[in-house]
Chain A
């Protein structure tokens, strides 16, 4: 099997706009969680979010794109620009069908949709923007990135809630193995608007704690839900041989992937997370002892934290691997989560630093070696876990370019 590597990353995150600001904040343990600023949330049960700071769309995008894009699409377009630039890719120098786009989405352009629904019900159908036809749509980020950059290779969108970001990267790897070329893959998400807010509250997993320092506290005995965030990351992916031939800087290799779906809870059967991780390890031809760090899903719902801790302990033994959840500084980003965690893992391996988990009173009963302060560690492999509401489990192994390539399974 062809080795597929990541050669560019573009990040828009609540604790940093751009990969450098993001990584500076993340390694230093600086949070981006605070009171919602995009609308007045004071009357809602949940009032905290992770919002991307200092983002002025007009500074980055042409005027033509503003009336037709949701906030999260603007973030995605900018992350895509930055990922391409980071990889040294000028799309116009590539064959027309040489670069594809594979993104994940959890809810599409909710804020844009809310505005148009408001127009529909308060003023009438003739007041609804023609751009509503696609601005709300799940596939809109793939489409807009493709149009803006003239990327006509394989394109698509994956919709599997928070697992989707890893699924999109896996789909990109499949496409590259089949047909070569480059794929821009990942996810940038967010629906911090009243309509998105009530939908998330109805989902039953948002923390109602108003204290930014403790609202999202995964692996605490009294964990009570998460804080939602916006943003994510896009990654430039290509065949390792091609990347080396063009002299690209290689962040790391997508070494393994697995995905499973949970059995119905009433069956009493084990949820699928452990199996997803095992499949990813087998795909990477690695043993658990080869994994240097785990980036957890960190749902912050006691039942889900227990399932995740049991899965990690079943594979690595209690305390057998450092576990971290830097999304405690951004909030959960839905489809943006996996690609941002992959980027974080790549920076962590490069700099030999495991970023911290900002939780409160984690329970030793989970038996995890939870990294709470930035930790120095030489790493060449990382396992990233992500779960989507409704039963989606995905796991991905990334390895440094220097790590030995696995023998074909």
Chain B
């Protein structure tokens, strides 16, 4: 699987939950999702879309602990390579 990037995450979040107050990108990698403007249900909805698009399974609890884009990307890419292995 090719790497799931911060741009990919920004796009999925917009599709899942609408435009945020802060753009999801390189400058907001370590900004809290709450500050960016996405709550836990927005992230749950985004996680569901990522699972469908990439054909992977994400653990709800692990997703819930990923409070910034960097942490969220790490969960997706770790799971993506685990499922590919």
Contact = CB atoms under 8 A, between A and B. Distances in A.
Interface string B72-85: 00000000000000
A64 B52 contact: no
Contact residue range for chain A?
A: 10 to 19
A64 B24 CA distance: 14
Contacts of B45: 67, 129-131
Interface string B12-40: 00101111100000000000000001000
A65 B18 CA distance: 7
Contacts of A92: none
A64 B19 contact: yes
B48 to A, nearest CB: 6
A381 B41 CA distance: 47
Contact residue range for chain B?
A: 10 to 19
Task: Count chain B CB atoms within 10 A of each CB in A64, A66, A127 and give the residue with the most.
Answer: A64
Nearest to A129: B45
B8 interface: no
Given A130-B44, A130-B45, A133-B41, A67 B18 contact: yes
B51 A67 contact: no
Interface in A50-101: 62-68
B48 A64 contact: no
A129 B17 CA distance: 10
A66 B15 CA distance: 10
Contact of A62 (B16, B18, B44, B51): B18
Contact of B48 (A62, A66, A130): A130
Contacts of B20: 64
A67 B52 contact: no
A126 interface: yes
Contact of B41 (A62, A63, A68): A68
5 contacts: A63-B18, A64-B17, A65-B18, A68-B17, A133-B41
Sort A-B residue pairs by CB-CB distance and give the 4 closest, nearest first: A63-B18, A130-B45, A63-B19, A64-B18
